[in-house]
Amino acid sequence: MASLQVSRLVLSSSSSSSIPKAAVSIPKLPKFNVMVPKIPIKKQTLSVKEQSFELESLPLPLKQRRDSDPIQRARLVAVLEEVMDRIEMHKNIGEQRNNWNSLLLSSVNMITLSAALMAGIASVNVHGGDSITAVKIASTVLLTSATSIGALMSKIQPSQLAEEQRNATRLFKKLRIELESFLRENEEVNEEDVKEAIQRVLALDKAYPLPLIGTMLEKFPGEFKPATWWPENKQRNPKTGLAKGWSQELEMEMREVARVVKCRDAEEYEKLGNVMLKLNRFLAISGPVLTGISAVSSVFTGQDSGLAGIVAMTCASLAAIVNTLGHGGQVGMVFEMYRNSGGFFSLLEETMKSTEKRENGQVFETKVALKLGRSLSELRDLAKRSNLSQVKANEFASKLF
């Protein structure tokens, strides 16, 4: 076996030596010696420094805005909370003063008519003795009380007080909607916005005060004056005051509408306001005077002549009628309505004539048309007709002179 393996190894070695070998010659590429300059590298310790944003390096307006935006927004939210509180207060007090009007009117009329009936009984039963004297005294006391209560009602005008609180509630609700819309649409709140909101709240407080003593509005002024519930119009920065949608044609249209409103509607409401003021003053004086005459006449009832009883009964009945017309008809409320309408026209005129346009022109035109009870086409036609009539009047005046 060993000899066989040795012979196999010899044969395999001889056969492998006889196989030709294929030699592949690969050309050698030339050597390029590229000299790369060495860059000296210093050992440095790389440290990452946090970038500090200091407010001192920022411009002053940006610095103030970053400092004050959250604070000013919180201040405006506080103003909004006060507005919501005032809405509730004016609403509750308005309901209370409306109850005053109805309850006091019913009480005064019942007292007056009861006392008139007693005065009539005392004048009929002349020889009644002590019972008639008691009736006379009761009638006099009741009529004196009715005179005092009537004079108090004429002084404070509960129906007018209730209308003042209703107007204040409506205007504060409008202010609340505007503040909520402003906070929802604007992320940045400036100090100027907060001051404007505070001024509007204080102007409403002054126009429609809550307390009766000391700050109550004059119910019988010398002449009719429209209500003023807005602060003095101060021009803001033009960059923040201008709005889109305004054109020269629209501005001329609004100015013409303001002139028409002033010449027609405002003057008409002023005349009606003066009429209601005089009527309210007459009724407010007549009621207590008639009740007082009736109280004095009731003292002399039961005499030989029945004239005192007739005067007492007649004046008491007339006083009840006058009180019903004055307080039941709510003449003071009507006067306050005209006063508020006059203030609305004054505000509309001031807003349209103002050079500051912070609201979109088309939106403002729509609001004006709705407040005046007209459509947009009717409002534009009104301005055009007024402008044409003004031009014709000027041409006629130029021909005359």
Domain regions of the chain by residue span: 68-210+247-388
- What per-residue confidence (pLDDT) applies to 36? 47
**Amino acid at site 338:** Y
For residue 237, what are its two tokens? 């920065």
Mean pLDDT for the stretch of residues 210-226: 87
- What per-residue confidence (pLDDT) applies to 2? 45
Checking if the pLDDT of 95 tops 90, the result is: yes
For residue 63, what are its two tokens? 């610095």
**Residue that wins the pLDDT comparison between 94 and 48:** 94
Where is average pLDDT lowest: 48-57, 290-299, 301-310? 48-57
Task: Indicate the pLDDT class of residue 268, thresholds 50, 70 and 90.
Answer: confident
Checking if the pLDDT of 245 tops 80, the result is: no
Checking if the pLDDT of 220 tops 80, the result is: yes
pLDDT, tens digit, 9 for 90 and up, residues 5-38 = 444 444 444 444 444 444 444 455 455 454 545 5
- pTM comes to 0.73
**Residue that wins the pLDDT comparison between 322 and 19:** 322
pLDDT, tens digit, 9 for 90 and up, residues 117-158 = 988 888 876 565 667 788 888 999 999 999 999 999 999 999
Helix, strand, coil distribution of the chain in percent, nearest 5: 75, 0, 25
117 Cβ contact list (under 8 Å, min separation 6): 313
For residue 44, what are its two tokens? 């440095």
Checking if the pLDDT of 309 tops 60, the result is: yes
- What per-residue confidence (pLDDT) applies to 98? 93
Q: For residues 115 and 143, is the Cβ–Cβ distance under 8 A?
A: yes
Residues 390-393: contacts with CB under 8 Å, at least 24 apart: 390/256
pLDDT, tens digit, 9 for 90 and up, residues 168-203 = 999 999 999 999 999 998 888 889 999 999 999 999
- With 0-12 / 13-18 / 19 or more C-beta atoms within 10 angstroms meaning exposed / middle / buried, residue 355 is exposed
Let me know the angle formed at the C-alpha of 136 by 131 and 139, rounded to the nearest 5 degrees.
125
- What per-residue confidence (pLDDT) applies to 357? 57
For residue 55, what are its two tokens? 């407010």
Nearest residue to 327 via CA among 156, 94, 198, 144: 156
Percent of the chain surpassing pLDDT 70? 72
Q: At what angle do helices 158-185 and 331-353 cross, to 10 degrees?
A: 30
Query: Where are any strands of DSSP class E within 220-351?
Result: none
